[in-house]
Amino acid sequence: MAVRPILIAGDPRLSTPATPVTTFDDELAAFVEDLFETNTAANGAGLAANQVGDARAVFVYDLVDDSVRHRGCVVNPVLETSALPETMPDPDDDLEGCLSVPGEWFPTGRAHWSRVTGVDVTGRPVTVEATGYLARCLQHETDHLAGRLYLERLIGRNQRAARRMIKDHQWTRPGRSWLPE
């Protein structure tokens, strides 16, 4: 198992849709363990494969929501959600961050409910249905695998602030990453 470098916004691998997984072997299982280890080292809630430069459609999650720990992996996820809010996100209750946008948080509108279906590392069917923080995480990670950062979901002043932040950090060139310790 190994902690892998996490790509930072601006790297084209983060905006490239993932490739479906077709081989379920020991290498995939070891890679998923690396994702869990990297996510833990980074104090993340979830981590998608493309965030560490791997094009496969797989993500892990490990978080506590309402005093319950949720931990798992979904390969080839398909997302369903309730309706997305059409109002400005609450600056206190809707904050979202991302390991590929280190140290930054922005209010982000997400559906209240989500369900992800896919398979586990052995190819067995898996379904994860959630509300609250876990629902937000499932949406966030499937967005990554579609080649979309949460910054693209921002609206109004939050979108403008994110653009300024990207420019200030000079996150417009590929190849930047950070290694969780």
Q: Which residues are catalytic?
A: 141
Q: What's the first-to-final CA gap in the chain, in angstroms?
A: 14
Q: Do the Cβ atoms of 84 and 111 come closer than 8 Å?
A: yes
Positive or negative: CA dihedral 157, 153, 52, 131: positive
Between CA 154 and CA 92 the distance in angstroms is: 15
70 is in an annotated binding site: no
Spatial separation of the C-alpha atoms in residues 123 and 150, rounded to whole Å: 28
Q: Which stretches of the chain are DSSP H helices?
A: 26-41, 132-145, 156-169
137 annotated binding-site participant: no
Q: What angle do CA 121, 7, 75 make, to 5 degrees?
A: 15
Specify binding-site residues for Fe cation.
98, 140, 144
Specify binding-site residues.
98, 140, 144
